[in-house]
Structure 1
Amino acid sequence: MAAAAALEPWRTAARRKRSSAGRRPRRKEATVAPGPEADGEADDRVILRRIQEAKEDLLVSDFWSSALETITGCLTEHLEQLKATEGTLSEALGNLHLDLPGDESAVTTGSVPGKTLVAGNCPVKCVCYGLGNFATCVIARNQLTFLLLFMEKCRIPRSHCWIYDPLFSQLEIAVLRSLGVIVLSENEEGKRSVCGEPTIFFMLHCGTALYNNLLWRNWSVDALSKTVIIGNSFRGLEERLLTRILKENYPYIAKILKGLEELEFPQASQYTDVFNDTSVHWFPVHKLKQLPTEIWAFQEEPDYQDCEDLEIIRNKTQQLRT
């Protein structure tokens, strides 16, 4: 029955106005107010229905259209850069559908979740870390809904999306699989290479070390130029952390600050705790090439031995090997 629920048409509704507000990131909680979900009684049908309800609310919010415009604006520049530097990707990148928010034909009323809406092979990938327990947490569920809607809007196949959180329950893993995304089986600690393909990392409210690890794994002009990160504002990290702490504990973030473009998400009171302090980050080639040569020579893997309040769950198997 989970599969049947996952294949129900996604519905749209009329627009209504939202007010705006914002604040620093808030870590996702594993529980909500008492009820069937909090008691662990929810099944896949309940979770899928609540994702559908979250989608309906998101679609009619002013926040959705504004946030989509923010992302597509960055992605358009990012993909233009790739077309200019990688001629072989030019035709394939044309398959990535970037509609303007006002294009109602792209709302895809009645579209089927889990199905690709674009012909041909689209090389753009999505990787999602740190989503949290979306079965019991409204914040996590709204973030998952946003990710699914974003991929649908840009016509990125769900088979091109990899998701991982060490806190996922077996039920949540089953729901994600029924939605058509790939659930990773190992904690990568954010150390995933783009492998030469344009990749969008969706990492809302993640620990700072996760972003640092991701940058380390892709520490080259070529790899970073193919990387987009939707997550905690790097400018915000720079403002909140002491310069010494940032350079010692998270050196790759500290070194890349002058090599990126960052655009903040819009603020919205309805989603204050969901998307606050969120920005889209991409790395223009001309900025990366302007960084000192010695920056790229430093490629030491982060270990965080002397780092307090790490805020990520480590891969215990990997730690035992080392």
Structure 2
Amino acid sequence: MSKSKIDSDGFQLVSTKKSSKKKVLVPRNDLHLKLDSKIDIEKSFKRIETAVGELECSEYLKSVIKAVSNFLNDKNIVEIICFGLGHIGESNISRYQLALLLCLRNKFNPDKVLVHDPIFYTDECELLKKLNLTLIEENTEGNYIITKKGTSLVYLPHCPKQLTNNFLWSNWGLNLENCILLCNSFTSITEISDRILSETVPYIQKILSLTQEVYLDNNFVFKDIFNDTSLHFFTKKLLESVSSDFWNNKEKPQYTNDVEFITSLIIHKLTV
């Protein structure tokens, strides 16, 4: 990416230059996986409706829609995939992040909207179905292969960086031009040493120079909902600027002793 600047539509394009800014991690508590708390589905449904109403009239939603629309031009979003919403029946942050997902669905009218989080309670799954969202039942750890028949919007709200890394690995290739990633800023993620990046999230590190990142001003009324969130695009021109060897080197990521990332192995150990 080029040096930080404001584009013609008023969006700040983020530079890859490293700074002293500290990234705030949002670790997950594995103990939540051992519980299946009951929630008031109807009450939660109404709270989410209220959150959607607040977002619909917000400048934040307008900026997200404008940035996505600028990238799309005459293309359509055919699917939205969302990982890592958290406990939507309990958490105010999760509730508004879900509200943004619903606003994006209402605006772009995709063929399908898929959601998954390994910590969802049974009642939260029922709530998501009531909202006409499709659950991904298996914990694929972010390894979802996007369609080649249109644009996929992949929404990873405050998710562990390993989830984003896995998604990139599973779609490693020129089809990334059909992807829009709404997630934690790649620039912020890569503000750690190159050695640690290459060991932990190599695909984020590799794709960074081929990424166009649009910083989203955190101007929503609650500042802890969408902080450090950016849109990430991968244009055909940039993706084709590297050799085929760049794409052919595709070793599956491995993670060890990482408390912020819930793997399928952790789920298995807690359910046997």
Q: Name the TM-score, length of structure 1 as normaliser.
A: 0.69
Q: Residue in 1 aligned with 2:85?
A: 131
Specify whether residues 304 and 319 from structure 1 end up closer, same or farther in structure 2 by C-alpha distance, changes over 3 A only.
farther
Q: In the alignment, is the contact (CA less than 8 A) between 2:154 and 2:182 conserved in 1?
A: yes
**1:128 is paired with a residue of what secondary structure?**
strand
Q: Residue in 2 aligned with 1:201?
A: 154
CA shift for structure 1 position 226: 1.4
Specify whether residues 192 and 42 from structure 1 end up closer, same or farther in structure 2 by C-alpha distance, changes over 3 A only.
closer
Provide the C-alpha distance between the structure 2 equivalents of 1:318 and 1:168, rounded to a whole number of angstroms.
12
Instruction: Confirm whether residue 316 of structure 1 aligns to residue 265 of structure 2.
Output: yes
> Percent identity at matched positions?
30
Q: In the alignment, is the contact (CA less than 8 A) between 2:28 and 2:259 conserved in 1?
A: no
Which of 149, 159, 170 is residue 217 of structure 1 equivalent to? 170
Q: In the alignment, is the contact (CA less than 8 A) between 2:39 and 2:124 conserved in 1?
A: no
Q: In the alignment, is the contact (CA less than 8 A) between 2:26 and 2:260 conserved in 1?
A: no
Cα RMSD after superposing both structures = 2.4
Post-superposition Cα deviations, 1:131-182, rounded to whole Å, max 9, x if no partner, equal 000110000000100110111011224xx01100011011110011111111
Q: Residue in 1 aligned with 2:8?
A: none
Moved over 4 A (4+): 23-26, 317-320
Structure 2 counterparts to residues 74-93 of structure 1, below 5 A: 74-76=71-73, 93=75
Specify whether residues 209 and 225 from structure 1 end up closer, same or farther in structure 2 by C-alpha distance, changes over 3 A only.
same
Q: Which amino acid aligns with 2:165?
A: N
Paired positions, count: 241
Structure 2 counterparts to residues 286-305 of structure 1, below 5 A: 286-305=237-256
Q: In the alignment, is the contact (CA less than 8 A) between 2:165 and 2:202 conserved in 1?
A: yes
Provide the C-alpha distance between the structure 2 equivalents of 1:171 and 1:156, rounded to a whole number of angstroms.
25
Q: In the alignment, is the contact (CA less than 8 A) between 1:74 and 1:280 conserved in 2?
A: no
Instruction: Confirm whether residue 248 of structure 1 aligns to residue 199 of structure 2.
Output: yes
Q: Residue in 2 aligned with 1:166?
A: 118
Q: Which amino acid aligns with 1:313?
A: I
Q: Which amino acid aligns with 1:125?
A: E
Structure 2 counterparts to residues 31-180 of structure 1, below 5 A: 42-76=39-73, 93=75, 96=76, 124-157=78-111, 160-180=112-132
Bigger strand share: 2
CA shift for structure 1 position 318: 9.5
Mark the runs of 5 or more structure 2 residues left unpaired by the alignment. Answer: 1-21, 30-36
Specify whether residues 318 and 44 from structure 1 end up closer, same or farther in structure 2 by C-alpha distance, changes over 3 A only.
closer
